[in-house]
Chains A and B, each alone.
Chain A
């Protein structure tokens, strides 16, 4: 069938371009997904003394480093948005590549972190704290990975000055992934 954009896509009766409106709806539904798991974690955390002891074993420095990596990648994402708005496709793509690099760094660090923790004996079934830890961070990591993949696709187009509006859209998604981590970090690493 036709790959062209339908007229429906170009209208904006709600005051926002369609793509951006859609991304905000995605963000809204993701808030309740992560909200569900985080709320469940908090309920357990506040009622199980044993959690505090288990949480003592997460590595705050690695967590902080990863937080810094994501923060910086968000900076690159928004700089990419600015470049795209100025019409500078190649620069926007470069920014997105840097953002992706941040995301990949995050994932690599996390895999080393998890490997170390598993070797220490803290597996997903060690205690409910660790079950939450791996599940919540795992879900987040999947979103990071998905974001990186989409970002690379958008960057490939942006380099050729195509679909530049999508740079902002994947940026909004990426910032959301960053915000989720902003909350996961204190919950899992600092509150001990």
Chain B
């Protein structure tokens, strides 16, 4: 059933093994509990709590997955810098585009449909453009 010994990877390139594996099941259990908390958050009713449980936990979960499952902590440092830089670029994009995209009117322009606030999304019978 299981091949206990180390088979040399005949067809694969040199494969350096990680020296230790954390208890993956334990990590999974923590992630699942965090998921429960994030779902329960809105029931408290306080907006700030919901935001923290939803997004704060998302960040924590993502960090745990990246660190423990993707082994970013044992990868060469530049990989973390690479991934971090991409995230920073996305924040930069958001920061620079949001002053325009999030406004309903600007210098010499306005977005007509934003100003006459559309009613709550009524399910359309058939979506789409004429």
Q: Are A and B close enough to touch in the complex, i.e. CB under 8 Å?
A: yes
Chain A residues in the interface with B (C-beta under 8 A): 5, 9-10, 12, 14-20, 24-25, 27-28, 31-32, 35-36, 38-40, 42-44, 46-50, 53-54, 60, 64, 67-68, 71-72, 74-75, 77-79, 82, 85-91, 120-127, 129-130, 161-166, 171-172, 175-176, 178-179, 182-183, 185-186, 190-192
Contact between chains at A36 and B90 (CB < 8 Å): yes
B76 at the A interface (CB under 8 A): yes
Main secondary structure of the interface of A (DSSP, over half): helix
Taking CB atoms, residues of chain B closer than 8 Å to A39 are 90, 93-94, 97
Taking CB atoms, residues of chain B closer than 8 Å to A185 are 38, 58
Summed over the interface, the residue pairs from A and B with CB atoms below 8 Å come to a total of: 194
Contact between chains at A129 and B101 (CB < 8 Å): no
User: Known contacts A36-B93, A50-B121, A190-B42; is A31 also within 8 Å of B28 by CB?
Assistant: no
User: Known contacts A43-B94, A43-B102; is A121 also within 8 Å of B76 by CB?
Assistant: no
Taking CB atoms, residues of chain A closer than 8 Å to B87 are 31, 35
A163 to chain B, nearest CB (A): 6
Chain B residues in the interface with A (C-beta under 8 A): 1-7, 9-18, 21, 24-25, 27-28, 31-32, 35, 38-39, 41-42, 50-51, 53-55, 57-58, 61-62, 65-66, 68-70, 75-76, 79, 82-83, 86-87, 89-90, 93-94, 97-98, 101-104, 114, 117-125, 127-129
With the chains together, A26 CA to B38 CA distance in Å? Answer: 29
The one of B42, B62, B124 that contacts A179, using a Cβ cutoff of 8 Å? B62
User: Known contacts A16-B76, A35-B90; is A74 also within 8 Å of B2 by CB?
Assistant: no
Residue ID in chain A nearest B13 by CB atoms: A10
Nearest first, the 7 closest Cβ-Cβ pairs linking A and B are A121-B123, A125-B127, A35-B90, A127-B121, A186-B54, A47-B102, A31-B86
With the chains together, A25 CA to B79 CA distance in Å? Answer: 9
With the chains together, A65 CA to B46 CA distance in Å? Answer: 24
Contact between chains at A183 and B62 (CB < 8 Å): yes
